[in-house]
Structure 1
Amino acid sequence: MVDSLIVSVPDSRLANAVGDLPDAVELVEWDFEGAPPRSRIDLVVPPYMGGSSRIGRVAEVSSRLVQSQSIGYDGVDELLPEGITFANASTVHETATAELALTLTLAAQRGLPEFVRNAESGTWKSRMTPGLADKNVMILGYGGVGRAIEDRLLPFETTVVRVASRPRTDDRGAVHGVDELSELLPEVDILIIVTPLTSKTTGLVNDDVLSALPDGALVVNVGRGPVADTDALVRHATEGRIRLALDVTDPEPLPEDHPLWSLPNVLISPHVGGASGAMLPRMVALIRRQIDHLLADEEPENIVLRT
């Protein structure tokens, strides 16, 4: 057992939500802007937005664990000081991200962007739309978020093709390896990208991948913008060969004069995959579990990096 624990959170909103803690735990606020409030902070929770880019500041304190508020941690390994244990926010964002992936997919498949534009001019214009039932949907990047997306797709009577970095078999059958993409893509109606950003996945969805998709296919990206080649996306969407529903782009934020904004077959949301009312209570639950682990001198959850 540990006699005392100091925990930092970035703002009063999260501090108030965490609520009462054991007497052995001191909760302080540190937003990575000013000096750290203590020289020792056992559990550091960085800001949700922009926290990763300033993660080097944990070198200013003695720490046992840095608990991110994001699932993704691309680039953190290059900025994290030596001797730090870093955990991601698995269990916090999977459901919300899956909700948005399904929302974007349904909206694009049922023509909602066009209907919204028509409503602005008072135009009543119906048409047949592709829909979701009976479609072949590929989930590219089958982890926790990918499985949550699959859970929501199956009741819509879809066929789900799952692709990960390496092939494997689980309780739902085969998970294909990424090296099988070229064989699988010609039969895919909807490609949902949820893979994390690494050196191997940067630019993974390139011109060759997009060209292998059938005409009229929908590409949904709720992973990371640089996983897809933006120039290739613009070219294929401009030609009208594919449709896009993007929660993430490269660059971010997308400049107001970027050609993706003006294409009628492109739907864009501003990187809000995890931004739902479920985030705060789930983040609080994770922080409190990590506190319990540290007090009991146990291994924390979700460790993804040790430097």
Structure 2
Amino acid sequence: MATAEQRTDARDVWLPIPPDEIEGLPDGFRYVHWDAGPDYPADPARCAFYAVPYMKDVETSLRPLSRMSRVRAVQTLTAGVDHILPGLSDMPSGAQLCNARGLHDASTAELALTLILASLRGVPGFVRAQDAGEWRPEYRPALADKSVLIVGYGSIGSAIEDRLTPFECARVVRIARTARDTVRGPVHPLSDLPALLPEADVVVLATPLTDATRGLVGRDFLARMKAGALLVNVARGGVVDTAALLAELESGRLYAALDVTDPEPLPAGHPLWHAPGVLVTPHVGGPSSAFLPRAKRLLRDQLTLFAAGEPLRNVVATAD
């Protein structure tokens, strides 16, 4: 284990964005750019702050971590940290893992609304009709007057509700790990799900993937959803039992719009690709034009706190 003196000597900051593209970075560090290339830009043992490359596979993201013996902060550019948690045991005692809460709110909430509207209004079918040069008018459900249940009411869940507000929904119901009150109304605990699911026309998943939420949307959950309801997943694929969802889709009882899947990437030939009533997008909730300016601000702000010895934001775990 590195001594306090050795850890203070580590002054390298690894960034997945070229440092000269981020305005306002604090002085006192050596900034190096690494976006998961085969070669490291510097000795990992001298890294004090590791900003994890975005949208890279787990193995690549974790690869340098076991050699970062003096790292004091690991910052993801994702709201979920399930891909980095396996590396927590490799981090020196006291090192902090921070997520990117708030970074993807706008982009992910936009996609959630896109998936809801596209699914309800039958946009995939219209696109296929356009490809075939066929005029196929169809009567479709609207979002107006629907009851929407948001499962996972953190910053992304709240941002989704912001965007639902103009659509004249009959009701928006919020679910989180624990109950609390907000200016919009109550947030129900997960234990209320069985009673609330049958009332929802649209169920949006925005919860992190944890031991408590893995497989949360299984056979019982889906069976409680009303016939004809739409399941939207912008969380993580592992929150949903894929086999159980496929059974509901193939029966025609439920519909789904999925930005994340299990497995992911969804392999060619997987039955989800062609299941009836499903819209699949390739995990694009975060990567949009909204990402880069917000990522730069997050890294600048966290590094400013780090340089000043102030508590970092969004700390989700600390190494033993």
Report if the CA contact (8 A) 2:15-2:35 is conserved: yes
Give the paired residue count.
304
State the match for 1:288 in structure 2: 300
Q: TM-score, normalised by structure 2?
A: 0.89
Query: What is the aligned partner in structure 2 of residue 77 from structure 1?
Result: 85
TM-superposed deviation, 1:244: 0.7
> Quick check: 1:5–1:295 contact (8 Å CA) kept in 2?
no
Deviation string for 1:36-58 (max 9, x for gaps)? 60432222112112364442622
Q: Note closer, same or farther for the CA distance 1:21–1:144 as it changes in structure 2 (3 Å cut).
A: closer
Alignment check: 8 A CA contact 2:113 2:160 kept: yes
Counterpart pick for 1:25 among 14, 25, 29 = 29
SS in 1 for 2:256: strand
1:34 correspondence with 2:39: yes
Give the percent of matched residue pairs that are identical in Structure 1 and Structure 2.
45
Deviation, structure 1 residue 105: 0.4
- One-letter amino acid matched to 1:46: V
Quote the offset at 1:76 in angstroms.
2.8
Q: Distance in 2 between matches of 1:69 and 1:305?
A: 15
Decide which of 110, 122, 128 is 1:117's aligned counterpart: 128
Give the conservation status (yes or no) of the 8 Å contact 2:15–2:31: yes
Alignment of 1:132-211 (within 5 A): 132-158=143-169, 159-211=171-223
Distance 2:300 2:27 in 1: 14
In the alignment, the residues of structure 2 paired with residue 36 and residue 125 of structure 1 have an alpha-carbon distance, to the nearest angstrom, of 56
Alignment partners' CA distance in 2, 1:201 and 1:20? 38
Taking only aligned residues, the RMSD between alpha carbons, in angstroms, comes to: 1.9
**2:139 is equivalent to residue 128 of structure 1:** yes
Which residue number corresponds to residue 107 of structure 1? 118
Work out whether residues 204 and 232 of structure 2, in 8 Å CA contact, stay in contact via their aligned partners in 1. yes
1:60 equivalent to 2:67? Answer: yes
User: Does structure 1 residue 251 correspond to structure 2 residue 255?
Assistant: no
Stretches of 4+ moved more than 6 A in 1?
A: none
Unaligned runs of 5+ in 1: none
Please tell me whether the aligned partners of residues 250 and 276 of structure 2 are also in contact (alpha carbons under 8 angstroms). Answer: no
Call closer, same or farther: CA 1:9–1:262 in 2, change over 3 Å.
Answer: same
Correspondence list, 1:38-53, <5 A:
38=43, 39-50=45-56, 52-53=58-59
Corresponding residue of 2:3: none
TM-score computed with the length of structure 1 as normaliser: 0.93
Does the 8 A contact of 1:14 with 1:280 survive in 2?
Answer: no
The within-5 A match list for 1:271-282 is 271-282=283-294
Aligned residue identity for 2:31:
L
Deviation per CA, 1:125-184, whole angstroms, max 9, x where unpaired?
111111100100000111111000011112111111101112222222211111111111
Structure 1 equivalent of residue 230 of structure 2: 218
**Is 1:36–1:60's contact at 8 Å kept on the other side of the alignment?**
no
Matches of 2:26 and 2:160, distance apart in 1: 37
